[in-house]
Structure 1
Amino acid sequence: VYGQKMLQLYRLQNNFINNFTHELKTPVTSLKLFLQTFSKHELARTDQLKYIQFMLSDVNRLTENINRILNLAKIESKSYANEFVDTDLIRAIDLFLTNHQHLFHNGTIRIIPPEGKLPTFRVNLPLFDMLLMNLVTNAVKYNDAPKPTVDIGFEIRPRHLIIRFVDNGIGIDKKELRKIFRKFYQIGRSENMSAKGSGLGLYLVQNIARIHKWKVAAHSQGIGKGSVFAISLPI
């Protein structure tokens, strides 16, 4: 059994390295092509602006992947800033969405306030932003709907607050639900999932939740039926 687990981990790591190498090489190759075009041709201003937008997209893609590795290293080495502050979660989420609206401009993200006033929670804000970035980015990226939507709702229970991220994305096969928080794990074999994912995003989400003594779970009715990610915070 131990040998099988080690072999599985090796395969996951190998897949991650191959996919991550692809994720780094693709935008670099694209940037090189655009820069060569700029150096060899006199381009109209409209064409320049078009290519610049493509290049900025490639730079953002590179930055996103590099940040995943840096964030993973910080969390696993426990070198994150150990500062937890009393936080209004709705205000923190709203501020996050405002600061990063350029990343989600093709989707609709709504905060649905709870019935009743929320207490404040002790939160490490940089880690919480990282958690939000992974959940919201996944919900918008892995989405074939004409208009991706994410509803962020709150349910107050006697001993817990539940925050739900409900999307209209491509969904998750029920057989995958228990595996998706594993390090390097990538859902399914479809091009939409494996080519763009690193297998680290949800692993980071789970570890950030654990650092806060929260719990995170995923739910889906299956492929094509959207997903729900629920975070449980003790009150």
Structure 2
Amino acid sequence: MTTNFKKTYRFAFLTSTAITLFLTLAMGVFFYFYSSEIMIWFLLGFAIVCYLFSFFIIQYRVERFIYNRIQKIYDEVSLLDASTYGRPKITTDMETLTREVGRFAQNKKLEIEALKIRENYRKEFLGNVSHELKTPLFTVQGYILTLLDGAMKDKSVRKKYLNRANKGVERLTYIIKDLDMITKLEVGDLNLDKERFNIIELVENVFDLLEMKAGKKKINLTFDKVYTDSIFVNADKERIQQVLTNLLVNSIKYGQKNGTTEVSIEDLIENKVIVRIVDNGEGIEQVHLPRLFERFYRVDKSGSRKEGGSGLGLSIVKHIIEAHNEKIYVESQFGIGSEFSFTLEKAK
């Protein structure tokens, strides 16, 4: 480990001064009865030699003593993670040393707390993945075992159970596909095919795709106003359609019956537009907002699973928007509604 050695002479100075005064006074008492000009010069020379000798010996020994032991401590602690504390300065100044060790301990404490948070997140994530995969797997297995136990002889039962098993397989495929997409987005392995397109037209297409789904809950998909002019943006059209679809599906899924989901497109700055999706659904409690875009994170641990989905929709949205180097925002009031918004580059 490379270290920077910071010297301080205070301890050696004070200690050498004390030793020199003591020995000089002792010599002075010894030669008290032999006082002469020669003896005075002798005591003065003795004091200088004693001081210099004491100073350099004490400074060297203290430096080596503290240096070796503190270096050993740093080396041992650095085995945990050398990158977290950088290159510490070793010093014989105890005040500085205490401050540096205190700062080092505080950094380690923060690091340990961060690791605990990460560990809890990892455990929760693995638990969520296990649950999401286990449910459709057990469903498929249950129907297949029932068929193997003799139910396949009944043609009507066989067809019904095979259809249900197929839905379980489709759900598994959907989850794995979404996980694969998020992984590619995170490592930058998913190339974006940017093009110039009319965002108003794209939103209308998504409205058409989700018309039947929204109709089942009597939710009205609409714009905030009549857009007579086109608004062109520069982005990956297919991915932005997926973003709009995921956000609107979420709005329908958690929206109130006879509710409304409203989309607006506004100029943000000179070269940016912001797309807002506002609903008057059940809303989200503030405690959930910071974790809303995590994989498999669900606000309602029971009810949301009944609604289906992979639990990855919002996480995919976040990654797609960030892949465009844009921002996504969420605001919500529980019992009143939610607003999701994201920025896009305006096309020239």
Question: Under a length normalisation based on structure 2, what TM-score does the superposition of the two structures give?
Answer: 0.56
> Separation in 2 of the partners of 1:89 and 1:214?
15
Contact 2:235 2:344 in 1 (8 A): no
Deviations 1:149-194 (A, max 9, x none): 533333345634232222343311123323423x447254642358
Correspondence for 1:23 among 132, 135, 138: 132
Unaligned runs of 5+ residues in structure 1 are none
Alpha-carbon distance change, 132 to 100 in structure 1, aligned in 2, over 3 angstroms: same
2:248 aligned residue? 136
1:72 aligned residue? 182
Give secondary structure in 2 for the equivalent of 1:229: strand
Alpha-carbon distance change, 71 to 19 in structure 1, aligned in 2, over 3 angstroms: same
* Residue type of the alignment partner of 1:110: L
> Separation in 2 of the partners of 1:24 and 1:35?
17
Mean CA deviation greater in 72-81 or 172-181: 172-181
> Separation in 2 of the partners of 1:78 and 1:10?
25
Mean CA deviation greater in 105-114 or 1-10: 105-114
Correspondence for 1:110 among 221, 227, 230: 221
Correspondence for 2:141 among 29, 32, 36: 32
2:199 aligned residue? 89
What pairs up with 1:164-203 in 2 under 5 angstroms?
164-181=276-293, 183-184=294-295, 186-188=297-299, 190-193=301-304, 200-203=312-315
Is 1:4 the counterpart of 2:140? The answer is: no
Larger proportion of helix: 2
Is 1:59 the counterpart of 2:153? The answer is: no
CA radius of gyration, larger in: 2
Alpha-carbon RMSD across the aligned residues, in angstroms, is 3.2
Alpha-carbon distance change, 64 to 101 in structure 1, aligned in 2, over 3 angstroms: farther
> Separation in 2 of the partners of 1:140 and 1:3?
41
* Residue type of the alignment partner of 2:327: K
Give secondary structure in 2 for the equivalent of 1:170: coil
Per-residue deviation, 1:83: 1.7
* Residue type of the alignment partner of 1:3: I
> Separation in 2 of the partners of 1:106 and 1:57?
20
Mean CA deviation greater in 75-84 or 109-118: 109-118
Alpha-carbon distance change, 28 to 168 in structure 1, aligned in 2, over 3 angstroms: farther
Alpha-carbon distance change, 52 to 227 in structure 1, aligned in 2, over 3 angstroms: farther
2:234 aligned residue? 122
Determine which structure has greater relative contact order: mean sequence separation of CA pairs < 8 Å that are 6+ residues apart, divided by chain length. Answer: 1
Alpha-carbon distance change, 109 to 49 in structure 1, aligned in 2, over 3 angstroms: farther
* Residue type of the alignment partner of 2:202: A
Contact 2:207 2:221 in 1 (8 A): no
Give secondary structure in 2 for the equivalent of 1:220: strand
Contact 2:182 2:319 in 1 (8 A): no
2:319 aligned residue? 207
Per-residue deviation, 1:99: 5.1
What pairs up with 1:154-173 in 2 under 5 angstroms?
154-156=265-267, 159=270, 160-173=272-285
Alpha-carbon distance change, 52 to 91 in structure 1, aligned in 2, over 3 angstroms: farther
Alpha-carbon distance change, 2 to 118 in structure 1, aligned in 2, over 3 angstroms: farther
Unaligned runs of 5+ residues in structure 2 are 1-109
Contact 1:154 1:163 in 2 (8 A): yes
> Separation in 2 of the partners of 1:48 and 1:101?
33
Contact 2:196 2:232 in 1 (8 A): yes
Give secondary structure in 2 for the equivalent of 1:4: helix
* Equivalenced residues, count: 231
Contact 1:16 1:199 in 2 (8 A): no
